[in-house]
């Protein structure tokens, strides 16, 4: 299987939808993983963590270890928690 670097870049920057199984079967393992994990959303989430860290640093509240933990562990995982959280708009 051939490594497809342009697809890696595309999967990191956009949400890719593969409609045909033949197209999916032609992708390399990394491309499949990037598409399946919706890595484009992770990149945007990490950007927001970086901006939050810069704002905290500017105001003198930055702490490196908690920032790394939040940026690399909690933020990328939150997209799955929020996606699967039940939301009810009905007023009981």
Q: What is the mean pLDDT of each run of 10 residues along the chain (92 residues)?
A: 84 85 88 82 82 94 91 67 52 50
Tokens of 69: 């933990």
Q: Which sequence spans correspond to the domains of the chain?
A: 5-36, 41-84
Q: How many residues does the chain have?
A: 92
Give the pLDDT confidence score for residue 79 in this predicted structure.
Answer: 57
Give the pLDDT confidence score for residue 90 in this predicted structure.
Answer: 55
Give the pLDDT confidence score for residue 76 in this predicted structure.
Answer: 62
**CB-count burial class (<10 Å; 0-12, 13-18, 19+) for 31:** buried
């Amino acid at each position: 299987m051939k490594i497809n670097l342009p697809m890696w870049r595309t999967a990191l920057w956009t949400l890719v939808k593969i409609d045909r199984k033949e197209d999916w079967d032609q992708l390399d393992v990394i491309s499949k993983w990037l598409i399946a994990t919706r890595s484009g959303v992770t990149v945007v989430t990490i950007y927001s963590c970086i901006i939050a860290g810069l704002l905290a640093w500017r105001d003198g509240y930055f702490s490196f270890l908690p920032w790394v933990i939040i940026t690399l562990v909690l933020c990328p995982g939150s997209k799955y928690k929020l996606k699967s959280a039940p939301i009810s708009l009905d007023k009981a």
